[in-house]
Amino acid sequence: MTDFLGTDWHEKIFTGTWTAGSGETYDVIEPATGETLGRLGAASGDDVNAAATRAAAAQKEWAKTTPAERAAVLRRAGALWAEHADELAGWIIREAGSIPPKAALEISSAEAICYESSALPSHPKGQVLTSNEPRWSFARRVPAGVVSVIAPFNFPLILAMRSVAPALALGNAVLLKPDPRTAVCAGVAIAKVFAEAVLPEGLLQVLPGGLDAGEAVVAAPEVSVISFTGSTAAGRKVGEAAGRLLKRCHLELGGNNALVVLPGAEVGPATSAGAFGSWMHQGQICMTTGRHLVHESIYDEYVEQLAERARNLPVGNPATEEVAIGPIIDEKQRTHVRDILDKATADGATLVAGGPGEGAFVPPTVLTDLSPSNPAWAQEIFGPV
């Protein structure tokens, strides 16, 4: 798994080159097995501030390049995702606990995002505005400067690349803070692809780290835009900090989404859609279908068929078995899912299929008889429930 990525990243952060950070190093863990896949450096707040200074200097020269030069870098990056798809998808499978089709989707999406972004440099850059005076009045778009991208663990590559690639294409520098749990497949891989695509040094810096690094990528004076994808609780803090600093902030946060099944619906296709919506990637998706609102005329049949689907979905290690459901990302999240299941049944919910499972795995779970105040109804679970 190290042919393209190599080993230069071990115990390092990426600041244009691989270098030791001032934070502690940490193990990269495969959630399905607990095996250590490598060891990464963690960025401190000081590392982030130094990176922001370097990025701001590099950005000034990058913004002067022609649209054709920037587009060429993005096209080369797109080709590299395709060229090394098998290896990079392997990292998504092992590090993020993804089944192979989901990993392949991430790689193909990263490729497509690069190609689509390569068209952005040649888009119109402004407008001619109306004026009562005998002169031209122009509005012109210019690069924002340094953009911080804070990405999550669940679809780590897509949710990083959709901000990284457009920002670079439009003449900005990027500080990428990947989730430390998926910082190889959505941090090291991104750094390697853009380095091979001949992106000038300093424009992209990959800085996995803890709370101090997260605060710094928002607060660094050189940063003018923050793109955050993650939990609602963390997003509130990012938004509040950005608001105090009068910085542009884009937030994609959690959700507790409902599928509505109306009378007359075909139950088979409805439960198929419901199963996919609830259990893809172990339910670790902000758009996951956590609640099914089913009309009473087809309720019993729907519950029976959905539970049968749950019982027949294989659960296991996606790197070694053909499964539909892989591991929950880490022990903290597994504990959260199991705690909500315990509270839900204590509050009167009926467990029809699934349950807490064992070790890294929570099977597809169906609960019925939930009141609006039941924790499994009222809260985002981020698990296959």
The percent of residues in the chain predicted with pLDDT above 90, rounded, is 97
CATH of the domain at 230: 3.40.605.10
Q: Are 175 and 5 in contact (CB under 8 A)?
A: no
Chosen domain end from 252, 287, 315: 252
Residue 2 confidence (pLDDT): 55
- Say whether both 236 and 365 belong to one domain: no
- Say whether both 116 and 191 belong to one domain: yes
Tell me, yes or no, whether 87 lies in a domain. Answer: yes
- Say whether both 222 and 301 belong to one domain: no
- Select from 325, 332, 331, 371 the least CA-distant residue to 348: 371
- Say whether both 234 and 320 belong to one domain: no
- Say whether both 143 and 225 belong to one domain: yes
Q: Active-site residue 252, yes or no?
A: yes
Domain count within the chain: 2
- Say whether both 247 and 357 belong to one domain: no
The percent of residues in the chain predicted with pLDDT above 70, rounded, is 99
**What is the spatial distance between Cα 288 and Cα 254, in angstroms, rounded to a whole number?**
10
- Say whether both 241 and 312 belong to one domain: no
Q: What is the DSSP letter of 145?
A: S
- Say whether both 195 and 292 belong to one domain: no
List the alpha helices (DSSP H) in the chain. Answer: 45-62, 67-83, 85-96, 100-117, 156-169, 189-196, 211-219, 232-244, 267-279, 299-312, 331-346, 375-378
Q: Active-site residue 249, yes or no?
A: no
- Choosing from 83, 116, 196, 252, the catalytic residue is 252
Tell me, yes or no, whether 97 lies in a domain. Answer: yes
Tell me, yes or no, whether 268 lies in a domain. Answer: no
Question: Over the stretch 219-266, which tens digit does the pLDDT of each residue have?
Answer: 999 999 999 999 999 999 999 999 999 999 999 999 999 999 999 999
What domain range includes position 314? 276-378
Residue 167 confidence (pLDDT): 98
Question: Over the stretch 143-171, which tens digit does the pLDDT of each residue have?
Answer: 999 999 999 999 999 999 999 999 999 99
Residue 23 confidence (pLDDT): 84
Which of these ranges, 78-87, 128-137, 291-300, 327-336, has the smallest mean pLDDT?
128-137
- Select from 254, 250, 257, 209 the least CA-distant residue to 231: 254
- Say whether both 231 and 106 belong to one domain: yes
CATH of the domain at 321: 3.40.309.10
Tell me, yes or no, whether 309 lies in a domain. Answer: yes
- Say whether both 120 and 218 belong to one domain: yes
- Say whether both 217 and 299 belong to one domain: no
- Say whether both 56 and 203 belong to one domain: yes
